[in-house]
């Protein structure tokens, strides 16, 4: 009997090793057309056009009118943020939004960096392109593509950009100076939404790769969290020879043996490669994994199945849109914020910054198209696409922020990203890393690039 068990274990290990060994596969690059109707026979206009964010008195008057007509439901006693966004605190936000928030001023803030649009695969793709204000003699900046997620936007990167493009004047070494490109995912903000089904993370990665080529970059660094981490990962799987380095602060790594070790990882952490910090971030397992997933994934089920239904309601009500988005900036920043009457929103963000992100969705009417990205990526089944089963063979760095929705240990990351050269336990911060802790994230990006370039 024991011999049979031993032989079965050895056979299982051999099979596991065979199917999990590093295969340097790449995704096919392909092509597509996502604009309305059939693809024109004439070639696509590849010009890059300057763009400015604009607003009008009519837009602001309409917003104020809708806020004034809001109908709220009283919260349960002592419910805080356990039932979702607390409407008592919401009254404060709505008062500020209606009476103090200055959208015209925030439009000027948005236009602080240069905006552009260009047609790629039938869609007008929006991006900001920020070059260093000054460069030491003989130096050239390193191109860095930074990709946002949901319910964020390119605006998440506004506070990190100075650390990357002008590090010396912001307390960092000028060993690494970047020029930063932040596009909007198609269907988000100022990027045109697809007219056709199927525009997923792989397609978006291809579109952004074409954008970087159009800007004249044959090699570049990429960084992302949330959907941005998946898009950047896909880009490394599509065109690994063009991606010099990949930095992510989130990773979905479920197709391997390691998640099964969670049940034994606490008493046998050394056996499975878990550090003391991993144990702190993963356990108690029931609370930090299972209950957390149940609490925070309801939106995902809706958006992965019928995004247009809830989208109709959110696109018609600025208040509904705001609470749907801002709730994520509470509990995704720190799960314990659900115990606070105000959801802890103003502990890490200003109301101006939070409402500016909401306004990008509201004024462009893109909440529905942004939610469709879940349907396109998960509508065929969770992690059903080929790229989830593929490894990434470009130099990689991972920043593990302690309040991220799910902690990903280094062993797990290295399974998916065999060329992991930097794994950092970050001192603080949650899901919206660039927005919440821009200096910490900038320092980790620079550390990674330094390690890579010294190899």
Distance CA 124, CA 34 (A): 10
Give bridge partners of residue 49 from the DSSP assignment. Answer: 117
Distance of CA 307 to the CA centre of its chain: 19
Asked if 434 contacts 160 with a C-beta cutoff of 8 angstroms, the reply is yes
Tokens at residue 172, please? Answer: 């960092």
Is there a catalytic annotation at residue 242?
Answer: no
Is there a catalytic annotation at residue 226?
Answer: yes
Contacts of 9 (CB under 8 A, 6+ apart): none
* 316 sits in which H/E element: helix 307-316
Compute CA distances 391 → 233, 251, 258, 420, whole Å.
Answer: 9, 12, 15, 11
Is there a catalytic annotation at residue 166?
Answer: no
Does the N-terminal peptide bond of residue 97 adopt cis geometry, omega within 30 degrees of 0?
A: no
HSE-CB for 230 with a 13 A CA cutoff: 22
Choose the catalytic residue: 226, 247, 258, 278: 226
* Helix spans in 159-199 (H): 161-165
Q: 143 φ, ψ to 5°?
A: -70, 130
Choose the catalytic residue: 89, 274, 374, 417: 374
Sign of CA dihedral 327, 201, 231, 365: negative
Choose among 351, 345, 352: nearest CA to 330: 345
Give bridge partners of residue 179 from the DSSP assignment. Answer: 143
Eight-class DSSP state of 402: T
Choose the catalytic residue: 188, 209, 431, 444: 431
Distance CA 220, CA 241 (A): 10
Q: 37: burial class by Cβ within 10 Å (0-12, 13-18, 19+)?
A: exposed
Q: 128 φ, ψ to 5°?
A: -105, 145
Q: What Rg do the C-alpha atoms of the chain give, in angstroms?
A: 23
Asked if 177 contacts 131 with a C-beta cutoff of 8 angstroms, the reply is no
Distance CA 242, CA 202 (A): 16
Catalytic center residues: 226, 374, 431
């Amino acid at each position: 009997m024991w011999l049979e068990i031993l032989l079965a274990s050895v056979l299982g290990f051999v099979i596991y090793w065979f199917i999990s060994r590093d295969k340097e596969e790449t995704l096919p690059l392909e092509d597509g057309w996502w604009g309305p109707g059939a693809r024109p026979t004439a070639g696509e206009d590849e010009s890059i056009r300057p763009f400015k964010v604009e607003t009008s008195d009519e837009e602001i008057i309409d917003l104020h009118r809708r806020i004034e007509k809001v109908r709220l439901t009283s919260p349960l006693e002592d419910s805080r943020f356990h039932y979702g966004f607390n409407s008592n605190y919401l009254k404060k936000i709505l008062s500020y939004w209606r009476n103090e928030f200055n959208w015209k001023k925030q439009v000027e803030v948005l236009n602080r960096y240069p905006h552009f649009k260009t047609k790629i695969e039938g869609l007008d793709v929006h991006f900001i392109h920020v070059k260093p204000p000054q460069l030491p003699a003989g130096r050239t900046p390193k191109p860095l593509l930074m990709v946002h997620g949901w319910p964020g936007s390119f605006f998440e990167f506004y506070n990190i950009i100075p650390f990357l493009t002008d590090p010396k004047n912001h307390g960092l070494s000028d060993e690494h100076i970047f020029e930063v490109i932040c596009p909007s995912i198609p269907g988000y903000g100022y990027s045109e939404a697809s007219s056709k089904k199927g525009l997923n993370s792989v397609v978006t990665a291809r579109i952004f790769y074409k954008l970087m080529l159009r800007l004249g970059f044959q090699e570049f660094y990429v960084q992302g969290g949330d959907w941005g981490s998946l898009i950047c990962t896909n880009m490394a799987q599509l065109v690994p020879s063009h991606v010099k380095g990949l930095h992510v602060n989130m990773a979905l790594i479920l197709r391997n043996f390691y998640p099964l070790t969670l049940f034994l990882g606490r008493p046998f952490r050394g056996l499975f490669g878990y550090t003391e910090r991993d144990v702190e971030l993963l356990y108690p397992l029931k609370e930090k994994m299972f209950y957390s997933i149940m609490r925070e994934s309801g939106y995902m089920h809706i958006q992965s199945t019928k995004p247009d239904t809830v989208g109709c309601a959110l696109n018609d009500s600025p208040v509904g849109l705001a609470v749907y988005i801002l709730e994520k900036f509470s509990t995704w920043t720190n799960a314990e914020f659900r115990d606070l009457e105000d959801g802890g929103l103003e502990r890490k963000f200003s109301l101006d910054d939070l409402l500016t992100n909401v306004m990008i969705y509201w004024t462009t009417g893109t909440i529905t198209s942004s939610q469709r990205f879940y349907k396109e990526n998960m509508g065929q089944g969770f992690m059903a696409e080929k790229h989830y089963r593929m490894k990434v063979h470009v130099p990689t760095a991972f920043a593990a922020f302690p309040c991220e929705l799910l902690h990903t240990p280094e062993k797990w990351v290295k399974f998916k990203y065999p060329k992991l050269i930097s794994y950092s336990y970050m001192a603080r911060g949650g899901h919206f890393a660039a927005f919440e802790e821009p200096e910490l994230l900038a320092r980790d990006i620079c550390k990674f690039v330094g390690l890579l370039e010294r190899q």
